[in-house]
Structure 1
Amino acid sequence: MRISFACLILLATIVSGCTKEKGINAVVPINDTIYVSEEFSSKPIAGAKVILKKCTQWDFFVGCTGVFSPFKTITTDYLGRAIFVRPNAIDELVVEHTKYWTKGFRSSISYSISLTPKCLIRAHLKKINSYSSTDALNIDVNGDCDAVVCWWRSNNWFPRTPTDTIVNVYGRAKYDNKISWYVNIANQDTLSSIININATDTADINIDY
Structure 2
Amino acid sequence: MEHRFPRGAALLRIAMVLAGGFSLCAALSASSEPAKEPYRLANQFSVIQTIQVDGGKAFVQHLYRDGDKLRVDVQEGPETQIIILRKDQKKVYTILPAQKLVLESAYRDAGASTNLGLPGEAGAVWEWQGKETIHGHSCAKYLVRGDSKSLSVWLDEAGNYPLRVAPAAGKTVIDWDQYQVGPQPSNLFEPPADFRKMSMSFPERPR
What TM-score does the superposition give when structure 2 sets the normalisation length?
0.22
Work out which of the two has the higher radius of gyration on C-alpha atoms and give 1 or 2. 1
> TM-score under structure 1 normalisation?
0.21
